[in-house]
Amino acid sequence: MGLEILKNKRGIIFGALDEHSIAWQTALKANEAGAKFVLSNTEMALRMGDVFELGKKCNAEVIAADITDMDDLEKLMKESMKKLGGKLDFILHSVGMSPNVRKNVPYTELNYEYFKKTIDVSAVSLHKVLATAMKLDALNEYGSVVALTYIGAQRQFSSYGDMSQAKAMLESIVRSFGYHYGRHKKVRVNSISQSPTITSAGKGVGGFDSFFSYSQCMSPLGNATAEDCADFCVAMFSDFTRKVTMQNIFHDGGFSSMGISDQLIGNCFKCTGDCADHEFDIKE
C-alpha cells in the first residue's frame, strides 16, 4: 500500500513455509512497510520450504526454532534482538498443525498423543512465545503480538477436528496473556480469525474446497486472501491500532455474521430431498 507504517519496527515472523503461507505474504508486506524482522520455522520446514529465498527478498535473517521448545525460543529471541539491534515491536504466530487432521483420524476416535501435539503446536506455543518474550523483556511498550485462528473455534466445522479445540485455547490465551502483558508492559495480544485460505495447512483439512466455496458464497465481500490477511497483520503491528488488545478479530469478508445468503440459495446449493437425510447436491 506504499505506506511505511512499520518504519523502525523490529519483529519475528513465525510460520512462512512457501509463497502461499499467510506468514510469507505478511513478511513481504511488512518489508514493504519498512519493518526489519527475523523469519523462523522448524529445521524441517527450512529444508523443505523456500524460506531462505524469502529471507533474501526481505533482507531478513532466518533462524530455526521449534515453537514448542522453550530453549529454541529463548535462543531465537536473544539472537533476533542482537541481529535487529534492539527490542522487538511485533511477533506473528502463524503456526498450526494437527496430526489427527493430517492423518484423517475420525474426531470420535482421536489419537490422544496426536491431540497433545495439536494443542502444543497450535495453542500452547503462543503461551510459550509470550512467556519467553516477557521473561526476556523482549517487546517494547505497545508491541503487538498477533496469532492466526479460524471460526472453527466457535462453531462446528465437521472436518476441522481437534483444531477446533486448539483454536479455542489459542483465543483464550490471547485474552488471558493479553491482560497480563498489557498490565505489565503495555504489550498487545490479538488473534485474527481468517477466511479459509489456500495454503499447505489449509489444504490439509478434509473437504477444504467445500469450506472455501461455502464461505466464498456466504460472505458479502468474499473470502479474504492471504495477501489481504497480510495487510491486516501489518495494520495490527502498526501504531494505528495501539489500543486494540485481547481481541479475536474476524477477517473473513463478513462470513461470521451471516446466516444464509442469496448467493448460497440461488447459486451454490440445491437441496434435493429430505434435509434430515443429508441429501444435498453441491453445485460446482
Residues near ligand NAD (CB under 6 A) are 14-15, 17, 21-23, 41-42, 45, 66-68, 94-97, 121, 148-150, 194, 196-197, 199-202
Considering beta carbons, is residue 52 or 266 the nearer one to ligand NAD? 52
- CB nearer to ligand NAD: pick between 100 and 197: 197
Minimum gap (Å) between residue 242 Cβ and ligand NAD: 24
| Closer residue to ligand NAD, CB minimum distance, 17 or 189 | 17
Would you state the cell numbers that stand for residue 222, as one nine-digit string? 468474499
Nearest distance, CB of residue 198 and ligand NAD, angstroms: 7
Cβ closest to ligand NAD, residue 28 vs residue 186: 28
Smallest gap from residue 170 Cβ to ligand NAD (A): 8
Q: What is the 3-state secondary structure (H, E, C) of the chain?
A: CCCCCCCCCEEEEECCCCCCCHHHHHHHHHHHCCCEEEEEECHHHHHHCCHHHHHHHHCCEEEECCCCCHHHHHHHHHHHHHHHCCCEEEEEECCCCCHHHHCCCCHHHCCHHHHHHHHHHHHHHHHHHHHHHHHCCCEEEEEEEEEEECHHHCCCCCCCCCHHHHHHHHHHHHHHHHHHHHHHHCCEEEEEEECCCCCHHHHCCCCHHHHHHHHHHHCCCCCCCHHHHHHHHHHHHCHHHCCCCCCEEEECCCHHHCCCCHHHHHHHEEECCCHHHCCEEECC
Q: Which is nearer to ligand NAD, 6 or 166 (CB)?
A: 166
Q: Show contacts of 170-173: CB within 8 Å, 24+ apart.
A: 170/122, 170/123, 170/126, 171/248, 173/123, 173/124, 173/126, 173/127, 173/130
| Cβ closest to ligand NAD, residue 12 vs residue 33 | 12
Nearer residue to ligand NAD within complex by CB, 14 or 237: 14
